[in-house]
Amino acid sequence: MGFARACSVALVGVEGVVVEVQADLEPGVAAFTLVGLPDKSLVESRDRVRAAVVNSGAEWPQKKLTVGLSPASVPKSGSGFDLAVACAVLGAAERIDPAMVADVVMIGELGLDGRVRPVRGVLPAVLAAAEAGYEQVVVPEQTAGEAALVPGISVLGVRSLRQLIAVLCDEPVPDEPAHGQGRPDAMLAGLMIPGTGLGAGLAPAAARGDGHRPDLADVAGQLRPRQALEVAAAGGHHLLLSGPPGAGKTMLAERLSAVLPPLTRQESLEVTAVHSVAGILPPGEPLVSRAPYCAPHHSATMQSLVGGGNGIPRPGAVSLAHRGVLFLDEAPEFSGKALDALRQPLESGHVVVARAAGVVRLPARFLMVLAANPCPCGRHTLTGAGCECPPSVVRRYQARLSGPLLDRVDLRVEVEPVDRADLRVEVEPVDRADLLGQGGRGESTEVVAARVRDARARAAERLAGTPWTTNSEVPGHELRTRLLMAPGALAAAERDLERGILTARGLDRVLRVAWTVADLRGADRPDASDVAVALELRTGIQRGVPMGAGER
């Protein structure tokens, strides 16, 4: 009788559980039994592992073989257990020393020829192994860079089971040629989930693939919306852009992720873990260092937004936008249930998805940008534009964004149509108008991003020693008791609260925005002018305040 064990990791959402893979050989009719709550793809590993072992030059044991995955109560899914199963079987058959694999975490899928194929979720799996006290992991060569992001872990990247056997037995390591030389590596197909949508979670330039990086200087005019965009980036405030088609709402939203500061090391690991599990981590880029950008179509279902799917729930758009921007263009066209499902992650920074196969907690701290037209035809606010939408239709269209959802949006800005003065139309001798005259260029993304970084640094210094890093995360109680404003600064906000223009939650959000406006102008604390700017950005009511952060 032979016995050996190896280790692997079962992923539940973006959290991992170390699984002990035990192999037991007993005399009897040759059979292969796999137990421990495996799913369909894991049950099929019996045939993959047998063929891989034989084609790697090792002998398959002709005995009764039982492989157990412990703990048995945790659901296991995917093909990432193949490598651990193969090594446990070879250890039980004494082809390799069982002690060499007992405390090694192995993650990878086996091809029938013995090659080790990459799988999704390597980073969160290795993080779970490190937290459990393991120090050695074996992963496919293509994902070794991703696994090496975890400190204190020794990573071995292998191309084939034959190479791993040689390393464990202290034999000469065979040289395995790279697969698919001269053409795209088919092995990387295991890292992508078909149907996730090309470019999901990527910056707009990467999603388009044309190499052009959107710049705020491309936006003509729109001083107040540009100011709101800067405030949103500096404080992490949610933003609603409403206005007629062609005014520049999408242009502004696409440039927001570039204004956000680069991710910290911890934030990069969080975002990379989500993208790795979702299957959208770009090959060759193991660490996501820039704020992600996710813009789902308005036909997206509630499950695609918050997460779901068959079996263990997968990350949705709110998780793919974690630490970045979630842009909902044509927001009133989204399903009402899908929009209202965003209310909980907007408040808590995470989403809990319960399904029959289990409950998954996914990170979802994102900056939401909504873009909406004033009516179905989009011409309701334009003078002489010929809007034929009846008032009842306009009211129903605008009511699709529910009050509880809008109450969680800090900034609400009207985006007016751009006029000739903003575009700086230049007429050439041939009477041809150039709509992109250089005179209409505003501040670049680089200039605005520098102010945003300075404002966030001031907020981080003020909030040092607390669990919050941006103004949008600070609870209202702290704003009213510990972070005090200048005397008399809240007079206008208190009047709006008495008149019913603001709710209690709305007042807290005005205080947060006021702190951000003060950070952008370098003040120690907000005064009445900062609160007036915050009220105008919140309610849309003109207060007669001068342009602040957006006009330099």
In whole angstroms, give the CA distance from residue 11 to residue 531: 46
Give the type of residue at 157.
Answer: G
Residue 432: its pLDDT value, please? 33
Residue 123: its pLDDT value, please? 95
| Range name among 42-56, 116-130, 206-220, 393-407 with the lowest pLDDT average | 206-220
Closest CA to 100 of 31, 228, 209, 4: 4
* 145-165 mean pLDDT: 95
**Radius of gyration for the chain, computed over Cα atoms and rounded to the nearest angstrom:** 28
Residue 179: its pLDDT value, please? 59
* 484-488 mean pLDDT: 86
Question: Which residues are within 8 A (CB) of 2 and not within 5 positions of it... i.e. 6 or more apart?
Answer: 23, 24, 25, 61, 91, 92, 93, 94
**Cβ atoms 110, 49 nearer than 8 A:** yes
Residue 45: its pLDDT value, please? 93
Question: Which residues are within 8 A (CB) of 390 and not within 5 positions of it... i.e. 6 or more apart?
Answer: none
| Range name among 13-22, 32-41, 129-138, 200-209 with the lowest pLDDT average | 200-209
Closest CA to 65 of 37, 105, 35, 104: 35
In whole angstroms, give the CA distance from residue 115 to residue 49: 11
Residue 426: its pLDDT value, please? 47
Count other C-beta atoms under 10 Å from residue 542's C-beta. Answer: 7
Q: How distant, in Å, are the alpha carbons of 36, 330, 334 from that of 372? A: 50, 5, 11
Residue 212: its pLDDT value, please? 64
* 370-379 mean pLDDT: 89
| H/E run at residue 371 | strand 367-372
Closest CA to 374 of 287, 254, 244: 244
Closest CA to 246 of 148, 384, 336, 379: 379
**Cβ atoms 314, 277 nearer than 8 A:** yes
* 125-144 mean pLDDT: 95
Per-residue confidence at 441, pLDDT binned at 50, 70, 90?
low
Residue 132: its pLDDT value, please? 95
Closest CA to 189 of 97, 118, 136: 118
* 78-85 mean pLDDT: 95
**Cβ atoms 2, 94 nearer than 8 A:** yes
Residue 311: its pLDDT value, please? 67
Confidence check: pLDDT of 203 > 80: no
Given the structure tokens 């059979």, which residue do they identify?
31
* 45-62 mean pLDDT: 95
Per-residue confidence at 548, pLDDT binned at 50, 70, 90?
low
Closest CA to 261 of 422, 104, 455: 455
Residue 116 phi, psi dihedral angles, 5° rounding: -95, 120
Per-residue confidence at 549, pLDDT binned at 50, 70, 90?
very low
Residue 435: its pLDDT value, please? 35
Residue 182: its pLDDT value, please? 47
Residue 219: its pLDDT value, please? 85
Residue 552: its pLDDT value, please? 40
**Cβ atoms 393, 375 nearer than 8 A:** yes
* 360-380 mean pLDDT: 91
Residue 4: its pLDDT value, please? 96
What is the share, in percent, of the chain residues with pLDDT greater than 70?
86
Token pair in block for residue 94: 């004494």
**Cβ atoms 224, 413 nearer than 8 A:** yes
**pLDDT tens-digit map of 323-362:** 999 999 999 999 999 999 999 999 899 998 887 767 888 9
